[in-house]
Amino acid sequence: MPDRITPNANAAGRLLELIQMRLISEAIHVVASLEVADLLADGPKSAEQIAEKTRANAPFLRRVLRALTAFGVFAEDSQGRFELAPLGEFLRRDAPGSLHAAARFFGGDAGTDVIELFLDSVKTGQSAIQKLAGDQGLFEWLQRDPERIQLFNAVMTSFSVLHMTGLLDAYDFSWASKLVDVGGGHGTILAEILRRNPRLHGILFDLRHAQAGGQKTMAQAGLGERCKVLSGDFFKEVPAGADAYLLSRVIHDWDDATTVAILKVVRAAIAPRGRLILLETMLRPSAGIAYPLLSDLNMLLMTGGCERTEDEYRALYRASGFELTEAIPTTSPTGTTVIEGRPI
């Protein structure tokens, strides 16, 4: 009988793993929802102990934990107990840069609502959110569900921590006197920049839903006197006259035409010798990390935006009245690049 096994069985096996990888994402969502990482913070526990605390089915939970152990989220000791591996530490709610909220936000019902429209998005050129929200945008869709918008804000805060890894070593803000963080969310990045630069004053500018969180961040950091927290619509105007404007993970939410419109608003507000600073996950083929490409697909589904190359940013700057002067990579695991521009 002829051998009908594919001549490249390893490739087939790898592809089969990738086909099933969505199960791993959902398994991470499950353990995040059950807050398993928090339960393991003080040491290893058996599946039965974890199941009792989380009111889960012990045999089924063991199988989930076993699968995630194979992917480095948990580890299993000689007694069959589970403990946190380095990846799992980021599922703790109190971990710096915690991805607990991200695991919950991108999985479960909300994640399924988006991901099942993937094929439709590719065929029509419309994001999943356009289908789900109709005439409303992402943020209006998020605000329909109080828990969803709360999770989203937590995701943005944790991403800010990861996004700014190595930022202050890569780029010196000491030349600036006033920095406007446009779309700065709860102000995690701006607060760190202000701490490092005691002569710098800041303005945190975002939609009203982020204002309370921003005020809390600045108050807790002791920066209330050096930073104003304002709300508004950056499609219409941003606070004028500053010499530095920061947009972190904002531009990737939008298509080219909308991006140019936003940057033109900043161009109208910026001081003549000011600088525009974007922090974005830049597509760099030689970087050797997959996250920027995955983030690009997420933008396709969630916002209709995209991640871009340096040449693409250069063209956007030129179209909006700026010259791209530097593109500085950081050590961030998200592939963050500091993209500086000056008014033409």
* Residues labelled as active-site residues: 252
As a 3-state breakdown, the chain gives helix, strand, coil percent values, each rounded to 5, of: 50, 15, 35
The CB-based long-range contact list for 59-64 (8 Å cut-off, 24+ gap) reads 61/34, 64/27, 64/30, 64/31
Question: Are 318 and 145 spatial neighbours (Cβ–Cβ below 8 Å)?
Answer: no
| C-alpha distances in Å from residue 327, one per residue of 139, 255, 336 | 29, 20, 10
3-state secondary structure of 71: coil
Residue with tokens 């939008």: 254
β-pair type (227-231, 201-206): parallel
- E strands, the chain, are 74-76, 82-84, 178-182, 201-206, 227-231, 244-248, 275-281, 322-329, 336-343
- Structure letter (DSSP) for residue 117: T
**Tokens matching residue 175:** 């030349």
Beta pairing partners, 227: 202
Q: For 205-235, b where at least 16 C-beta lie within 10 A, e where not — what string?
A: bbeebbbebbbebbeebebeebbbbeeeebe
